[in-house]
């Protein structure tokens, strides 16, 4: 397909500066929107779910610019104090309800541990989320947030039947703390899959920053060796927003996941 320079630039300008809020309201299928790290104007629906606010790889300046457009921002208690305005802090196992045009969604904060305990003063508080709504066919939607595998994920498995698990992988680590990791590696992701037993796993948060030390290949290899390659569902383009609806195992409501916003 060919176009002139002006036509191409006009297309880029139209997409990058157009507010799609009105278009999004026309969706009649419940949809989960995962913002990509290049997106700055794709609208947020019922709420933004923010694992934590205090690290640039999880909430950069473009992400902060988007937050005021959300009706509600659900995050950690200290994060809500820092963000103010429309932010609401949730403690682990605390629940709230989101109202959309099509669906009423129960959101429960889940425990997360952003590294081993000795790094907690530096890593700070994070949370994950479980989303439940009427008509779920295969179980709840679980979003791990920035966490390693630890007993909190076992607790999630005991409390909820999980149908889709969005896992923050990438094995984030820093030279100053050596081998210590701050998000899941491939072993953690596999253990989470074996404990939660979801039909679908969506790995996110694994590229685009220098402190990610694992890409998708170790995850794919681990799941293949364990006989579970079919549960992995990789987003087609992590740098663009992705809408997930009936194309994966069951319907999901419309909201924005700030698992990494910039956005993966």
Walk me through the domains of the chain, giving residue ranges and CATH numbers: 30-258 (3.60.15.10)
pLDDT tens for residues 218-255? 999 999 999 999 999 998 755 555 555 444 434 444 44
Q: What is the pLDDT of residues 4-17, one digit of tens each?
A: 666 656 665 665 56
Q: How high is the mean pLDDT of the chain?
A: 80
The strand pair at 127-133 and 140-143 is best described as: antiparallel
């Amino acid at each position: 397909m060919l176009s002139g320079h002006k036509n191409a630039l006009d297309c880029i300008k139209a997409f990058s500066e157009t507010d799609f809020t009105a278009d999004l309201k026309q969706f009649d299928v419940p949809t989960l929107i995962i913002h990509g790290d290049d997106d700055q104007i794709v609208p947020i629906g019922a709420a933004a779910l923010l694992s934590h606010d205090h690290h640039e790889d999880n909430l950069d300046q473009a992400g902060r610019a988007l937050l005021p457009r959300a009706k509600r921002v659900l995050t950690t208690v200290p994060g809500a104090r820092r963000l103010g305005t429309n932010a609401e802090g949730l403690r682990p196992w605390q629940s709230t309800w989101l109202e959309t045009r099509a669906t009423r969604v129960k959101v429960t904060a889940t425990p997360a541990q952003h590294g081993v305990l000795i790094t907690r003063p530096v890593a700070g508080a994070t949370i994950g989320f479980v989303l439940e709504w009427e008509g779920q066919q295969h179980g709840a939607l679980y979003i791990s947030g920035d966490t390693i595998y630890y007993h909190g994920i076992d607790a999630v498995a005991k409390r909820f039947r999980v149908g889709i698990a969005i896992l923050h992988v990438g094995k984030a680590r820093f030279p100053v703390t050596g081998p210590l990791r701050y998000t899941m590696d491939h072993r953690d992701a596999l253990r989470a899959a074996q404990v939660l037993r979801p039909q679908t796993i969506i790995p996110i948060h694994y590229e685009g920053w220098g402190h990610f030390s694992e890409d998708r290949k170790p995850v794919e290899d681990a799941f293949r060796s364990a006989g579970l390659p079919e549960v992995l569902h990789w987003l087609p383009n992590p740098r663009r927003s992705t809408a997930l609806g009936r194309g994966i195992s069951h319907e999901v409501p419309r909201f924005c996941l700030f698992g990494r916003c910039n956005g993966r």
